[in-house]
């Protein structure tokens, strides 16, 4: 057990009101564009987009239930047989047929979670009506024993829980729980929450350590995080126990996934993909499918906090370090290879074949916030900031209706079309995907961004992100109101207005961003000050005060560790928390011929991209002249360069001006 005095706790979204210029725009986009658009997409009403079938599947399962109403419910028995392929039964009427991926239900769950965050911050009767109706549709699909996964309901219930490795039942359960918890918090309506609890109870009846149950666990993690949330909301120990069991059982010998699929053990090689190659506390390296990995680590961090389990925390720290010191792109993207959407080996970070799924960057934000709850260390806050302003936000365009699944750091549109090794990379964002995990995931992250800004203790508030907002917190003898005005990510000026009528001392802890060499904090001169792990702690009996924070944002050149072969001889440009890139729209084609001039410096200027103002950077550089004679090979001569003016735009803003080349890393 560890000393839990260092922990801080999540701040409820209700306690925070976002007033930030930058994020208010993003939230408004989610409210006005993304969420309504996604509702249409889930209902297959977006012309020319790949159909989702998500709501269709719930309706179809509800229809089957309706038909079975007058018959006695027969509890299905497990079958040893699994589905080897998606069953296609031509006899089956279309209206009760399952379509899409096995995890299609989860798209709805993430959508309702995003809706809940919006409702929690601003009432919207029409949206709530649509949400309530959708919940009726979903709950009508639930089986009498609580089971709720449309793939098996529509195909063959007797085969449920027979392929935990690949068929995502527990993943869908996890997302359903997260959506249900959020919707209950926002509206106090219990219907979806009750359904989620019943599904979790149904799972616990069949899966667990007790005699006669399947000793399985999720093939795609997320249920661990979800059960932690469900436990924290309901206080019901049984949900904590189920999540704890999933973590404890994972990776034990003999591996459940091998047994389930009657496969010979291969020393854990195959199961690295699922992070089931070793017990979680013994895992040394971040491996396998990147989204699964960071969802697992996030769940481990939750349980470390909830149970005080030091060994889980130690494992989380080790896995964190492996990612951020060896396997993370500058943008915060993770998952360097599209094969298995997975981590590659250390320092293998190719720019033009990167996978860097939007969901994986979002998952890193989940992981970072949970590590911050375990200990305030600016290393976690810095990565959280990197994710939300770069690798996650790049997943959506400025209209809120186009999305990236893959977030490369270098793009040549022709290569995306002609080179099958890069066919996962899209040069422009897409309307929707058959596998649409990313868009609703981004909607729920942006919708809940207020819950990432602060964490709290009984007598302390931690400011992790500089996002304009108001926070109200109860202390023992009064309340503390904090009003943050921020010009992030464009300017490093922050103004914190504090009003407090409590008579006891309270600590305000401020993250000193790692990218800033000269952090200045003016005000509260009489406070007791100390600095620890990148946080400045100010402790005093607060009255009415103003803190002026100044984190000068200078454009800077960044290099990668020399072990990153792809980035050798190259540099990238950052300013404050933003990663910048060059686009063809500003710099012409053949970006690979450009060289930047390290001594030249940068000037910042306003640029309009698709109706939005961003801060662009201009600097001097060079363009290599085409080789003489234009022959494929010729005798070496020193290349000739012409001076050019170069323009960089924030990475998250790229591909909002049609198709073109892009690169983050440039020759130097
Ligand atoms: Zn995704």
Taking the centre of ligand 1 as the mean of its atom positions, its distance from the CA of residue 128, in whole angstroms, is 26
Q: Which residue has the higher pLDDT, 77 or 655?
A: 655
Q: Is the pLDDT of residue 288 over 90?
A: yes
Taking the centre of ligand 1 as the mean of its atom positions, its distance from the CA of residue 640, in whole angstroms, is 43
Active site residue 341: yes
In a domain, 169, yes or no: no
The whole-angstrom distance between residue 660's C-alpha and the CA centroid of its chain comes to 27
Q: Do 472 and 541 lie in a common domain? A: yes
Cα gap 156→513, rounded to integer Å: 53
Q: Do 536 and 575 lie in a common domain? A: no
pLDDT band for position 59 (cuts 50, 70, 90): very high
pLDDT band for position 73 (cuts 50, 70, 90): low
Q: Are 432 and 403 in contact (CB under 8 A)?
A: yes
Q: Do 532 and 601 lie in a common domain? A: no
Taking the centre of ligand 1 as the mean of its atom positions, its distance from the CA of residue 405, in whole angstroms, is 6
Cα gap 651→310, rounded to integer Å: 38
The closest alpha carbon to 379, from 564, 512, 488, 491, belongs to 512
Taking the centre of ligand 1 as the mean of its atom positions, its distance from the CA of residue 643, in whole angstroms, is 41
Q: Do 513 and 574 lie in a common domain? A: no
pTM: 0.95
C-alpha torsion angle, residues 88, 91, 94, 95 (rounded to 10): -120
Q: Which two tokens stand for residue 341?
A: 């959407």
In a domain, 466, yes or no: yes
Q: Do 561 and 642 lie in a common domain? A: yes
In a domain, 267, yes or no: no
* Percentage of residues in the chain having pLDDT higher than 70: 96
Domain stop point among 519, 550, 581: 550
Q: Do 468 and 523 lie in a common domain? A: yes
In a domain, 502, yes or no: yes
Q: Do 542 and 574 lie in a common domain? A: no
Cα gap 177→70, rounded to integer Å: 29
pLDDT band for position 504 (cuts 50, 70, 90): very high
pLDDT band for position 80 (cuts 50, 70, 90): very low
Domain count, the chain: 2
- 144-170 mean pLDDT: 93
Taking the centre of ligand 1 as the mean of its atom positions, its distance from the CA of residue 359, in whole angstroms, is 4
Report the first-to-last Cα separation within the chain, whole angstroms: 50
Taking the centre of ligand 1 as the mean of its atom positions, its distance from the CA of residue 276, in whole angstroms, is 21
Q: Do 491 and 589 lie in a common domain? A: no
- pLDDT of 402: 92
In a domain, 467, yes or no: yes
In a domain, 214, yes or no: no
Taking the centre of ligand 1 as the mean of its atom positions, its distance from the CA of residue 357, in whole angstroms, is 6
- pLDDT of 318: 98
Neighbour tally for 323: CB within 10 Å: 20
- The model's pLDDT over 305-328, given as tens digits with 9 standing for 90+, comes to 999 999 999 999 999 999 999 999
Report the mean per-residue pLDDT for the chain.
94
Q: Do 629 and 564 lie in a common domain? A: yes
Domain stop point among 550, 580, 610: 550
Q: Which residues contact 279 (CB under 8 A, 6 or more apart)?
A: 248, 250, 251, 252
Cα gap 356→125, rounded to integer Å: 37
Taking the centre of ligand 1 as the mean of its atom positions, its distance from the CA of residue 362, in whole angstroms, is 9
Q: Are 295 and 227 in contact (CB under 8 A)?
A: no
Q: Which residues contact 656 (CB under 8 A, 6 or more apart)?
A: 397, 398, 609, 610
- The model's pLDDT over 13-31, given as tens digits with 9 standing for 90+, comes to 999 999 999 999 999 999 9
pLDDT band for position 3 (cuts 50, 70, 90): low
* Percentage of residues in the chain having pLDDT higher than 90: 87
C-alpha torsion angle, residues 13, 651, 665, 638 (rounded to 10): -170
- The model's pLDDT over 617-646, given as tens digits with 9 standing for 90+, comes to 999 999 999 988 878 999 999 999 999 999
Q: Which residue has the higher pLDDT, 437 or 6?
A: 437
Q: Do 463 and 523 lie in a common domain? A: yes
Q: Do 582 and 525 lie in a common domain? A: no
Q: Which residue has the higher pLDDT, 654 or 97?
A: 654
- Min mean pLDDT across 151-160, 470-479, 658-667 is at 151-160
pLDDT band for position 71 (cuts 50, 70, 90): low
- pLDDT of 96: 81
- The model's pLDDT over 322-349, given as tens digits with 9 standing for 90+, comes to 999 999 999 999 999 999 999 999 999 9
- 416-434 mean pLDDT: 89
Cα gap 370→455, rounded to integer Å: 10
Cα gap 592→356, rounded to integer Å: 21
Q: Do 488 and 504 lie in a common domain? A: yes
Based on the number of CB atoms within 10 Å of its own CB, is 234 exposed (0-12), middle (13-18) or buried (19 or more)? Answer: middle
Interhelix angle 125-140/35-42, rounded to 10 degrees, is: 30
By the CB criterion, residues less than 5 angstroms from ion ligand 1 are 357, 359, 437-438
Q: Are 624 and 596 in contact (CB under 8 A)?
A: no
Taking the centre of ligand 1 as the mean of its atom positions, its distance from the CA of residue 387, in whole angstroms, is 14
Cα gap 353→423, rounded to integer Å: 9
Cα gap 654→612, rounded to integer Å: 12
- pLDDT of 2: 61
Annotated catalytic residue, options 197, 202, 316, 437: 437
Cα gap 223→221, rounded to integer Å: 6
CA distance readout (Å), 570 to 422, 527, 559? 22, 45, 7
Q: Are 37 and 46 in contact (CB under 8 A)?
A: yes
Domain stop point among 490, 519, 550: 550
Half-sphere CA count of 124, side-chain side, radius 13 A: 20
Q: Which two tokens stand for residue 655?
A: 């591909």
- The model's pLDDT over 585-614, given as tens digits with 9 standing for 90+, comes to 999 999 999 999 999 899 999 999 999 999
Annotated catalytic residue, options 26, 249, 341, 357: 341
- pLDDT of 72: 62
- pLDDT of 257: 96
pLDDT band for position 48 (cuts 50, 70, 90): confident
Q: Are 249 and 257 in contact (CB under 8 A)?
A: no
Domain coverage including residue 570: 555-667
CATH number at residue 535: 2.60.420.10
In a domain, 624, yes or no: yes
pLDDT band for position 88 (cuts 50, 70, 90): low
Q: Is the pLDDT of residue 494 over 70?
A: yes
Q: Is the pLDDT of residue 649 over 60?
A: yes
The whole-angstrom distance between residue 226's C-alpha and the CA centroid of its chain comes to 14
- The model's pLDDT over 194-226, given as tens digits with 9 standing for 90+, comes to 999 999 999 999 999 999 999 999 999 999 999
Taking the centre of ligand 1 as the mean of its atom positions, its distance from the CA of residue 361, in whole angstroms, is 9
Taking the centre of ligand 1 as the mean of its atom positions, its distance from the CA of residue 443, in whole angstroms, is 12
In a domain, 661, yes or no: yes
- pLDDT of 67: 83
Q: Which residues contact 105 (CB under 8 A, 6 or more apart)?
A: 54, 57, 58, 148, 149, 150, 151, 172, 175, 176
Q: Which two tokens stand for residue 318?
A: 């080790």
Q: Is the pLDDT of residue 472 over 50?
A: yes
Taking the centre of ligand 1 as the mean of its atom positions, its distance from the CA of residue 39, in whole angstroms, is 17
pLDDT band for position 83 (cuts 50, 70, 90): very low
């Amino acid at each position: 057990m560890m000393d839990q005095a260092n922990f801080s706790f999540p701040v409820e979204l209700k306690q925070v009101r976002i007033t930030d210029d930058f994020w208010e725009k993003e939230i408004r986009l989610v409210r006005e564009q993304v969420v309504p658009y996604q509702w249409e997409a889930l209902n297959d009403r977006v012309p020319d987009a790949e159909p989702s079938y998500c709501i269709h599947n719930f309706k179809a399962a509800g229809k089957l239930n309706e038909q079975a109403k007058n018959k006695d419910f027969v509890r299905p028995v497990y079958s040893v047989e699994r589905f080897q392929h998606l069953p296609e039964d031509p006899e089956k009427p279309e209206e009760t047929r399952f379509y899409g991926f096995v995890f299609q239900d989860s798209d709805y769950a993430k959508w309702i979670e995003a809706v809940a965050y919006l409702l929690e911050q601003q009432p919207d009767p029409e949206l709530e009506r649509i949400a309530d109706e959708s919940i009726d549709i979903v709950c009508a699909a639930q089986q009498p024993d609580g089971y709720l996964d449309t793939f098996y309901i529509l195909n063959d219930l007797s085969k449920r829980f027979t392929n935990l490795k690949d068929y995502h039942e527990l993943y869908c359960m996890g997302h359903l729980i997260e959506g249900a918890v959020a919707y209950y918090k926002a509206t106090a309506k219990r219907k979806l929450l009750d359904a989620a609890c019943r599904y979790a109870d149904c799972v616990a009846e069949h899966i667990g350590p007790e005699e006669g149950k399947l000793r399985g666990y999720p093939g795609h993690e997320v249920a661990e995080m979800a059960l932690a949330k469900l436990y924290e909301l309901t206080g019901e120990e049984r949900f904590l126990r189920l999540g704890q069991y999933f973590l404890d059982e994972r990776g034990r010998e003999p591996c459940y996934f091998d047994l389930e699929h009657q496969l010979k053990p291969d020393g854990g090689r195959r199961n690295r993909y699922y992070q089931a190659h070793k017990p979680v506390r013994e895992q040394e390296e971040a491996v396998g499918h990147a989204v699964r990995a960071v969802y697992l680590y996030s769940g481990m961090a939750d349980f470390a906090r909830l149970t005080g389990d030091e060994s889980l925390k130690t494992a989380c720290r080790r896995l964190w370090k492996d990612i951020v010191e060896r396997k993370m792109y500058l943008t915060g993207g993770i998952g360097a290879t599209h094969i298995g959407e997975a981590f590659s080996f250390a320092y293998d970070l190719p720019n033009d074949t990167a996978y860097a799924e939007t969901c994986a960057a979002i998952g890193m934000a989940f992981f970072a916030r949970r590590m911050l709850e375990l200990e305030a260390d600016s290393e976690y806050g810095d990565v959280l900031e990197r994710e939300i302003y770069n690798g996650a936000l790049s997943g959506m365009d400025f209209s809120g209706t186009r999305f990236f699944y893959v977030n490369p750091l270098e793009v040549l549109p022709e290569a995306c079309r002609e080179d099958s090794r890069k066919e996962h990379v899209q040069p422009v964002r897409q309307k929707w995907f058959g596998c649409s995990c990313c868009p609703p995931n981004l909607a729920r992250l942006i919708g809940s961004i207020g819950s990432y800004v602060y964490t709290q203790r009984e007598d302390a508030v931690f400011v992790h992100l500089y996002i304009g907002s108001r926070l109200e917190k109860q202390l023992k003898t009064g309340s503390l109101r904090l009003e943050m005005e921020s010009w992030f990510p464009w300017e490093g000026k922050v103004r914190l207005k504090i009003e407090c009528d409590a008579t006891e001392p309270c600590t305000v802890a401020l993250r000193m961003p790692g990218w800033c060499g000269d952090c200045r904090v003016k005000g509260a001169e009489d406070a007791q000050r100390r600095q620890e792990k990148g946080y400045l702690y100010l402790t005093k009996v607060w009255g009415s005060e103003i803190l002026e924070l100044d984190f000068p944002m200078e454009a800077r050149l960044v290099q990668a560790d020399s072990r990153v072969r792809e980035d050798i001889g190259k540099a990238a440009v950052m300013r404050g928390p933003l990663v910048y890139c060059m686009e063809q729209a500003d710099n012409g084609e053949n970006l690979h011929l450009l060289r930047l001039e390290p001594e030249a410096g940068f000037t910042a200027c306003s640029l309009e991209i698709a109706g939005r103002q961003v801060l662009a950077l201009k600097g001097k550089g060079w363009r290599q002249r085409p080789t003489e004679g234009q022959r494929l090979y010729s005798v070496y001569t020193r290349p000739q360069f012409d001076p050019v003016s170069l323009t960089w735009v924030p990475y998250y803003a790229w591909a909002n001006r049609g198709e073109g080349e892009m690169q983050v890393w440039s020759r130097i």
